[in-house]
Amino acid sequence: MASVLAKADAESFVRELASSSTVIAPLMKGGQVRFDAYSPADELVLDYETTTMPPKGLFLPHGACLMEYGGRKKPTVPVEADKFTVFMNHVDAEALSILDEAYSGRFKDNPYLGRRASSTVVAVSSAREMLNGFSHVLDLRYKRGFDLMMLDGGDYYELKPATVKGRRLMKSRLIGKGKAVKPETEWTAGKLDLKRIGAFLDLGPEQGLWKEIAKECFACGVCAYVCPVCHCFDVEDRSVLGGRGCRQRCWDSCMLADFAQVAGGVNFRGKRHERIHNWYHHKFARAVTERSRPDCVGCGRCITYCPAKIRIYDRIKECEMQG
């Protein structure tokens, strides 16, 4: 028999956890769902359609201090955050597993890894796509990025711990025994052909498609900021009088005009269509070569929040057709 939690008890489960530790969850605030610290007065939305900001900000906060310096003291690395449990859907948890790979490879990113070590992630599966989402056409694994998976079984969740931290959450009396959720049949029809997409992307930025998108795109960088996978950053020193200060990590976007500008004013991706091509190429060609999966989980946020209404999914289909 499997461990199960009735959907009607899901909020009580979250409340129980929040009574003894910090719980971050998708909450309805001012007509929008966003990740915030849960309190019993909040409206919990575990099956959220979308959130403007993805949960990556919990692990990579914009403007986080990486190092304090000043005076005669040696530079110090700030102590990391308190422990917390965070609930997110399975698509966002998949995105987190990509960030884990990116930040724990050859170069270990200690501030990120510190926050990950402080967190317990609960992934809540949902049968429906997120708003403008296309995760079903990507080969996603849903095997990493979380400590506990809550599999949607209709009116209940099957709880499957993946780590010791996940097993610790299973002590609640609200959890009983029941039927395991039937695994979805492996469905391959309609999946994006990443080989063909990669072949077209490898042709470079001078193809007509990129110039066509460049006529519509504002180069605002919103698609990268709302993306749960995009993780480029800039480092800035914020100094105060007396030589003290803080070295900060700030979110950046390769769509922005000065992203590839280097000393002497040289910009090696100065044209908009070159930057647009680079964004798609990194996600759907380079990432596939380097990590065997795209830097995209099909959450749809870049479509939902693009002010120019550019639909990345349609553009990727065009690459597939031309590849």
Binding flag, residue 140, ligand SF4 (CB under 6 A): no
Binding flag, residue 302, ligand SF4 (CB under 6 A): yes
Binding flag, residue 52, ligand SF4 (CB under 6 A): no
Helix boundaries (H) for the chain:
10-18, 90-103, 110-118, 164-168, 194-201, 208-216, 222-226, 272-281, 287-291, 301-304, 312-322
Binding flag, residue 205, ligand SF4 (CB under 6 A): no
Helix boundaries (H) for 8-137:
10-18, 90-103, 110-118
Among 96, 217, 316, 319, binds ligand SF4 (CB under 6 A): 217
Binding flag, residue 175, ligand SF4 (CB under 6 A): no
The single-letter DSSP state of residue 267 is B
Binding flag, residue 301, ligand SF4 (CB under 6 A): yes
- State the first-to-last Cα distance of the chain, in angstroms, to the nearest integer: 48
CB 148 within 8 A of CB 120: yes
Specify the DSSP element, H or E, that contains 124. Answer: strand 119-124
**Distance in angstroms (rounded) separating the CA atoms of residues 286 and 86:** 30
CB 305 within 8 A of CB 219: no
Binding flag, residue 227, ligand SF4 (CB under 6 A): yes
Q: At what angle do helices 208-216 and 312-322 cross, to 10 degrees?
A: 170
**Distance in angstroms (rounded) separating the CA atoms of residues 13 and 170:** 10
Binding flag, residue 145, ligand SF4 (CB under 6 A): no
Binding flag, residue 229, ligand SF4 (CB under 6 A): yes
Q: With CB under 6 A as the rule, give the number of residues binding ligand SF4.
A: 25
Binding flag, residue 285, ligand SF4 (CB under 6 A): no
Binding flag, residue 169, ligand SF4 (CB under 6 A): no
| Closest distance of CB 102 from ligand SF4, Å | 13
Specify the DSSP element, H or E, that contains 239. Answer: strand 233-239
| Closest distance of CB 281 from ligand SF4, Å | 13
**Distance in angstroms (rounded) separating the CA atoms of residues 10 and 80:** 30
Single out the segment in contact with ligand SF4 by CB under 6 A; choices: 61-69, 106-114, 261-269, 291-299. 291-299
Binding flag, residue 297, ligand SF4 (CB under 6 A): yes
Among 63, 78, 105, 307, binds ligand SF4 (CB under 6 A): 307
Binding flag, residue 308, ligand SF4 (CB under 6 A): yes
Residue type, 173: R
CB nearer ligand SF4, residue 249 or residue 273: 273
**Distance in angstroms (rounded) separating the CA atoms of residues 97 and 109:** 14
Binding flag, residue 218, ligand SF4 (CB under 6 A): yes
Query: Residues in the site for ligand SF4, rule: CB under 6 A?
Result: 217-223, 226-229, 255, 283, 296-302, 306-308, 310, 312
